[in-house]
A and B are shown apart, each in its own frame.
Chain A
Amino acid sequence: MKPPRWANWLLETFGHPDTREEVQGDLLELYAYWEQTMGVRQARWRYSLNVLKLMRPLAKRKSTEYPTIFFLSPIMLRNYLKIALRNLVKNKAYSFINIGGLAMGMAVAILIGLWIYDELSYDKYFQNYDRIAKVMQTGTFNGEVFHGEYNPAPMGPELRTVYASDFTHVIMSSWTRDHILAFGDKKFTKTGNYLSADAPDMLTLKMISGTRAGLKDPASILLSESVAQALFGTSDPVGKLMKIDNKLDVKVTGVYEDFPYNTEFRDMKFIAPWDLYASSEGWVKRAQDNVEWGNFSWQVLAQIAPNTTVDAVSEKIKNIRLKHSPESAFIKPKVYLQPMRNWHLYSGWDKSGNLEGRIQYVWLFGIIGVFVLLLACINFMNLSTARSEKRAKEVGIRKAVGSVRSQLIGQFFSESLLVAVFAFGLSILLVLLILPLFNEVADKQVGILWTNPVFWLSGLGFSLLTGLIAGSYPALYLSSFQAVKVLKGTFRVGRFASIPRQVLVVVQFTVSVTLIIGTIIVFRQIEHAKSRPVGYDRSGLITVAMNTPELHEHYNALRDDLIRTGTVLDMSTSSTPATDLNSQNSGFDWVGKDPGFKDNFGTIAVTHDFGKTVGWQFAQGRDFSRQFPSDSSGMVLNETAVRYMGIKDPVGKQVKWNGKPYRVVGVIKDMLMASPFEPVYQTVYVLDYGWANVINIKLNPSRSTSESLASIESVFRKFNPGSPFDYRFTDQQYALKFAAEERIGKLASGFAILAIFISCLGLFGLASFVAEQRTKEIGVRKVLGASVTNVWLMLSKDFVILVIIAFGIATPIAWYFLGNWLQKYEYRTELSWWIFAVSGVGALLVTLLTVSFQSIKAALINPVKSLRSE
Chain B
Amino acid sequence: MKRAFLGEFEEVVLLTVAVLDEGAYGVNITQEIEQKTGRSVGFSTVHTTLQRLEEKGFLSSQMGGATAERGGRRKRFFTVTAAGRKALQEVKQVREELWGALPPQTLQLMGG
Chain A positions near chain B (C-beta within 8 angstroms): 19, 21-30, 32-33, 46, 49-50, 53-54, 58-60, 62
**Is A25 within 8 A of B75, CB to CB?**
yes
From B51-59, B80-88, B90-98, B103-111, the one touching the partner chain is B51-59
Contact of B51 among A19, A24, A49, A58 (CB under 8 A): A19
Q: Given A22-B63, A23-B47, A60-B51, decide whether A29 and B42 contact each other with a Cβ distance below 8 A.
A: no
The answer, among B31, B55, B70, B76, for a CB contact under 8 Å with A28, is: B70
A22:B75 contact, CB within 8 angstroms: yes
Residue of chain A at shortest CB distance from B61 = A22
- Pair B71/A59 contact, Cβ less than 8 Å: no
Asked if A26 and B26 make an inter-chain contact with CB atoms under 8 angstroms apart, the answer reads: yes
Q: Are B27 and A30 in contact (CB under 8 A)?
A: yes
Q: Which of A24, A33, A46, A53 is in CB contact (< 8 Å) with B31?
A: A33
> In the complex, what's the smallest C-beta–C-beta distance from B71 to chain A, in angstroms?
5
Q: Which residues of B contact A28 (CB under 8 A)?
A: 69-71, 73
> In the docked arrangement, what's the CA distance between A483 and B51, Å?
33
Bound-state Cα–Cα, A49 to B67, Å = 24
Residue of A nearest to B43 (CB): A50
Q: Which residues of B contact A32 (CB under 8 A)?
A: 69
Most A-side CB within 10 Å, residue of B47, B48, B63: B47
Would you call B71 and A25 a contact (CB within 8 A)?
A: yes
Q: Would you give the shortest CB distance from A28 to chain B, in whole angstroms?
A: 5
CB interface residues, B 24-70, toward A, < 8 Å:
25-27, 30-31, 42-45, 47-48, 51-52, 54-55, 63, 66-67, 69-70
Question: Are B27 and A33 in contact, with the CB atoms below 8 A?
Answer: yes
Query: Are B43 and A26 interface neighbours, CB within 8 A?
Result: yes
Would B25 and A26 count as touching, CB distance under 8 A? yes
The minimal Cβ–Cβ distance linking A3 to chain B, given in whole angstroms, is: 10
With the chains together, A732 CA to B112 CA distance in Å? 103
Which residues of chain B come closer than 8 Å to A30, judged between CB atoms? Answer: 27, 30, 43
Rank and list the top 3 A-B pairs by shortest CB-CB distance, nearest first: A25-B73, A26-B26, A53-B44
Chain A residues within an 8 Å CB radius of B73: 21-22, 24-25, 28
Given contact pairs A28-B69, A30-B27, A60-B48, A53 touches B42 in the complex (Cβ within 8 A): yes
Task: Provide the residues of chain B in CB contact with A29, threshold 8 Å.
Answer: 27, 69-70
Our count of residue pairs bridging A and B at CB distance below 8 angstroms stands at 71
Cβ–Cβ contact A62 & B55, under 8 A: yes
Contacts of B71 in A (CB 8 A): 24-25, 28
In the bound assembly, the distance between CA atoms of A30 and B32 in angstroms comes to 13
CB distance from B94 to the nearest CB of A (A): 26
Nearest chain B residue, comparing its CB with the CB of A63 = B55
B34 to chain A, nearest CB (A): 11
Contact A49 B42 (CB under 8 A): yes
CA distance A53 to B52 in the complex (A): 15
12 contacts between A and B (CB under 8 A): A26-B30, A26-B47, A26-B75, A29-B27, A30-B27, A33-B27, A49-B44, A50-B42, A50-B43, A53-B44, A53-B45, A62-B51
Q: Which residue of A lies closest to B29 (CB)?
A: A26
What residue in chain B is nearest A60 (Cβ atoms)? Answer: B48
Q: Which of B42, B45, B48, B76 contacts A22 (CB 8 A)?
A: B76
In the assembled complex, the CB of A45 is this many whole angstroms from the nearest CB of chain B, namely: 12
Cα–Cα, bound, A25→B66 (Å): 9
- Residue contact A59 to B44, C-beta cutoff 8 Å: yes
Contact A59 to B43, CB < 8 A, known contacts A24-B71, A29-B69:
no
Choose from A23, A24, A26, A62 the contact partner of B54 (Cβ within 8 Å). A62
Residues of A within 8 A of B45 (CB): 53
Other-chain residue from A21, A22, A33, A54 in contact with B44 (beta carbon distance below 8 A): A54
Chain A neighbourhood of B69, CB < 8 A: 28-29, 32
Q: Do A27 and B43 have beta carbons less than 8 Å apart?
A: yes
Taking the closest CB of chain A, its distance from the CB of B85, in whole angstroms, is 22
Once bound together, how far apart are the Cα atoms of A33 and B31, in whole Å? Answer: 10
**Residue contact A22 to B74, C-beta cutoff 8 Å:** yes
| Cβ contacts under 8 Å, A59 to chain B | 44, 47-48, 51
- Specify which chain A residues have a CB less than 8 angstroms from the CB of B52 in the assembled complex: 60
Residue of B at shortest CB range from A58? B44
Q: How far is the CB of A32 from chain B (nearest CB, A)?
A: 6
Docked complex Cα distance between A19 and B25 (Å): 13
Assembly CA distance A24 to B27 (angstroms) = 11
CA distance A85 to B43 in the complex (A): 50
The CA-CA distance from A138 to B6 in the complex, in Å, is: 89
Most B C-beta atoms less than 10 A away, residue of A21, A25, A50, A53: A25
Give Cα A60–Cα B42 distance, bound, in whole angstroms: 15
Inter-chain CA distance A59–B67, complex, in Å, is 26
List of B residues within 8 angstroms of A58 by Cβ? 44
**Cα-based distance from A416 to B43 in the complex (angstroms):** 52
Contacts of B66 in A (CB 8 A): 25
Instruction: Give the docked Cα–Cα distance between A27 and B46 (Å).
Output: 12
Cα A21 to Cα B27 with chains together (Å): 13
A28 to B75, CA, bound (A): 11
Rounded to whole Å, the gap between the CB of B8 and the closest CB of chain A is: 17
Residues of B within 8 A of A46 (CB): 42
Bound-state CA distance A70–B69 (Å) is 44
Contacts of B75 in A (CB 8 A): 22, 25-26
Asked if residues A26 and B44 are in contact (CB atoms below 8 Å), the reply is: no
Residue of B nearest to A16 (CB): B51
A24 to B66, CA, bound (A): 12
The closest CB in chain A to the CB of B70 belongs to A25
Closest to A52 in B: B44
User: How far apart are the CA atoms of A406 and B76 in the complex, in Å?
Assistant: 37
Report the Cα distance A664→B51, complex, angstroms.
117
Q: Known contacts A19-B47, A22-B76, A62-B51; can you find 9 more A-B pairs with CB under 8 A?
A: A19-B76, A22-B75, A25-B74, A26-B30, A27-B43, A30-B30, A54-B47, A59-B44, A60-B48
Tell me the minimal C-beta distance from A422 to chain B in angstroms. Answer: 32
A59–B76 Cα gap in the complex (Å)? Answer: 18
A433 to chain B, nearest CB (A): 46
B4–chain A nearest beta-carbon distance, Å:
15
Q: For A22, A32, A62, which residue has the most chain B Cβ atoms within 10 angstroms?
A: A22
Closest to A59 in B: B48
- Residues of A with C-beta under 8 A to B74: 21-22, 25
Residues on the A chain within 8 Å of B67, using CB? 25
B27:A23 contact, CB within 8 angstroms:
no
Q: CB-CB < 8 A to A23: which residues of B?
A: 26, 47
Q: How far is the CA of A729 from the CA of B45 in the complex (A)?
A: 99
Q: Name the A residues within 8 Å of B43 (CB-CB).
A: 26-27, 30, 50
CA distance A318 to B25 in the complex (A): 104
The docked-state distance in angstroms from the alpha carbon of A29 to that of B68 is 10
Contacts of A60 in B (CB 8 A): 48, 51-52
CB distance from B89 to the nearest CB of A (A): 25
Q: How far is the CB of A368 from chain B (nearest CB, A)?
A: 55
Expressed in whole angstroms, the minimum distance between the Cβ of B100 and any Cβ of chain A is 36
Kindly provide the distance from the CB of B24 to the nearest chain A CB, expressed in whole angstroms.
12
Partner of B27, one of A26, A49, A54: A26
CA distance A53 to B45 in the complex (A): 8
A residues in contact with B63, CB < 8 Å: 21-22
Name the residue of chain A whose CB is nearest to the CB of B51: A62
Tell me which residues across on chain A come within 8 A of B44, comparing CB atoms: 49-50, 53-54, 58-59
**Distance in angstroms between the alpha carbons of A29 and B72 in the assembled complex:** 11
Report the minimal beta-carbon distance from A444 to chain B, rounded to whole angstroms.
56
Q: Closest residue to B73 on the A side, CB-wise?
A: A25
Given the complex of chains A and B, what is the CA–CA distance between A26 and B29 in angstroms?
A: 10
A29 to B26, CA, bound (A): 10
A25 to chain B, nearest CB (A): 3
In the bound assembly, the distance between CA atoms of A30 and B54 in angstroms comes to: 22
Q: Smallest distance from the beta carbon of B39 to chain A beta carbons, Å? A: 15
CB distance from B107 to the nearest CB of A (A): 39
Taking CB atoms, residues of chain B closer than 8 Å to A50 are 42-44
**Smallest Cβ distance from B29 to chain A, in angstroms?**
9
Q: How far is the CA of A22 from the CA of B61 in the complex (A)?
A: 11
How far, in Å, is B35 (CB) from chain A's closest CB?
A: 12
Instruction: Name B26's contact: one of A22, A49, A53 (CB within 8 Å).
Output: A22
Interface pair B54/A22, CB less than 8 Å apart: no
In the complex, what's the smallest C-beta–C-beta distance from A349 to chain B, in angstroms?
Answer: 75
Cα separation A757 to B64 with both chains bound (whole Å): 75
